[in-house]
Amino acid sequence: MRCLASCFPVGRRGINVLDIRITAAKFDENAKLADADFALDPMYKPFDAPGLEIAEVKPGLWEVANAGQGNYRMQFIELADRLIAYGAPVSPTEMRAVIKKLREKVAAKPISHVVLSHIHNDHVGGVKAFAEAGATLVTAADAQDVVCKIAVVQARTVSVVDQPAPALKFALVNGTLELGDATRKVTVFDTRGNPHVERLLVLVDGGSRSVMAADAYSDTQPFNATFDWLAGHSRFKGPRGRPVTVLVVLVRSTRLDLSTVTSRHAASAGPSALIALAADHILRADPDSDGAALTRRAAPSRLRFGVAPPAPAAWRSAPARRGT
Ligand SMILES: [Zn+2]
């Protein structure tokens, strides 16, 4: 069986102490779990999670922060008469709370689509809440079966009274998919081959000039392997048949100036910081690459002055975080 999100090398002090490979998983349809099965050890001090917060980080780009005990940010793009959501992390309960929080600021407009970035469980576990809200589920074709199963599964905890999922509506992405309206261009890109997950749906919002790429950037580990992929080489081929950066492809194909790159686990980063990061990675990897040349063209002034990456140098050596 192909290993999806199920390979977990665990390192300690540079030594691989575990190499966990899950090759199959099966639901026990008869399982009845009691709340006591999830009771915390009395010795464990629970994390005091921050409450949900909502902010309009750019005109028409809403972000609900602190979902999943402070680990997840949800983005919503506001169009003239509807909203588009990026990601459905954690669980239906968490996402119902996020949608409720969104409604404090944008009460009237329906959520027409939720773009599911990738099928790691922590990014798609809440999809049922969006199905309940009437949203079309946007995913890659080969992920549809998995998304269906996650969307219709019932809560296993006896005390939770769960509702059956409504009929699911899907929009499948193969290449690109336009979701915007006459006033705001919103494009889903089906990107391939990053080290975190084989297929990642990246959302580009022309209205706020933002790129949303789940797991690409993190407050705690900005220099992870997924960001390297986003900022560095990928399987995209440039005009001379050499690798080009995903970031630059997005900038070029949408004719945007990057002003915001948001991610599931991080605050939005500004343009100079991200372009500088991208340039730094690309130039270090291959100063003669198409990506380097195109990045220079995308942000010549910033590169000329050599904007320094904003994070402490020590973060550069942080290992890639997998499975998030
Ligand atoms: Zn992930």
Domain boundary assignment for the chain: 32-213, 215-324
Q: Say if CB 150 and CB 246 are below 8 A apart.
A: no
The confidence score (pLDDT) of residue 244 equals: 47
pLDDT recorded at residue 83 = 98
What global pTM score does this model have? 0.68
Q: How far is the CA of 123 from the centre of ligand 1 (A)?
A: 7
Distance 199 CA to ligand 1 centre (A): 10
Ligand 1 midpoint to CA 251 (Å): 23
Say what the pLDDT of residue 238 is.
46
- For residue 145, the CA-to-ligand 1 centroid distance in Å is 18
User: 32-213 sits in which CATH class?
Assistant: alpha beta
The pLDDT > 70 percentage for the chain reads 63
Return the DSSP state at 195: S
Q: What single string gives the DSSP state of each residue in 105-142?
A: T--S--EEEEE-----HHHHTTHHHHHHTTPEEEEEGG
**Ligand 1: distance of its center to the CA of 119 in Å?**
7
Question: What are the per-10-residue average pLDDT scores of the chain (324 residues)?
Answer: 59 71 81 82 81 90 88 91 95 94 95 95 93 96 93 78 87 91 89 79 80 70 63 48 51 45 52 52 56 50 32 35 40
Report the pLDDT value the prediction gives residue 187, as an integer from 0 to 100.
86
Distance 302 CA to ligand 1 centre (A): 31
User: Which pLDDT value is given to residue 323?
Assistant: 39
Q: What is the whole-number distance in angstroms between the Cα of residue 238 and the centre of ligand 1?
A: 27
What pLDDT sits at residue 280? 55
Quick: pLDDT tens for 101-130: 999 999 989 999 999 999 888 899 999 999
Angle between helices 246-254 and 271-285 (to 10 degrees): 130
Q: What is the pLDDT of residue 176?
A: 84
